[in-house]
Amino acid sequence: SQQGEEDPQALSIQEGENATMNCSYKTSINNLQWYRQNSGRGLVHLILIRSNEREKHSGRLRVTLDTSKKSSSLLITASRAADTASYFCATQGAQKLVFGQGTRLTINP
């Protein structure tokens, strides 16, 4: 299975701090995507990084991908209370998207 595994499972930080979440996977991929989910609602697509890319930025988000280690990280800088959510990595190969177990992020005011 190429299912991603994320760590930590839960992360609680103070507002303004940076949050880092990691994702590991098992097989080769076409791309890796990060999603956010607020309180059991639909998923919001955050960022996509292709297998030939190493780093990508979008606003306060920074994603890295290390295909040799089959791992990715999502960094949220200057966190805000509104960033409180579950974050999922998902790997794409052969048009199928396979999700990791997610990281529950809590931003404390």
Partner 1 sequence: SAVISQKPSRDICQRGTSLTIQCQVDSQVTMMFWYRQQPGQSLTLIATANQGSEATYESGFVIDKFPISRPNLTFSTLTVSNMSPEDSSIYLCSVLEVTGTQETQYFGPGTRLLVL
Binding site for partner 1 (CB under 8 A): 30-31, 33, 35, 40-45, 48, 50, 88, 90, 92, 95-102
Return all residues near 73 (Cβ < 8 A) that are at least 6 apart: 20, 21, 22, 23, 63, 64
Smallest gap from Cβ 41 to partner 1, in A, equals 6
Q: Which is nearer to partner 1, 67 or 99 (CB)?
A: 99
8 A C-beta contact, residue 9 and residue 103: yes
At closest approach, how far in Å is the CB of 18 from partner 1? 24
**Nearer residue to partner 1 within complex by CB, 10 or 78:** 10
Question: Could you tell me the CA-to-CA distances from 89 to 15, 26, 83, 108 in Å, in that order?
Answer: 23, 13, 16, 23
What is the closest distance, in whole angstroms, from the C-beta atom of residue 42 to partner 1 in the complex?
4
Q: Which is nearer to partner 1, 19 or 32 (CB)?
A: 32
Q: Which residues partner with 35 through β-bridges?
A: 45, 88
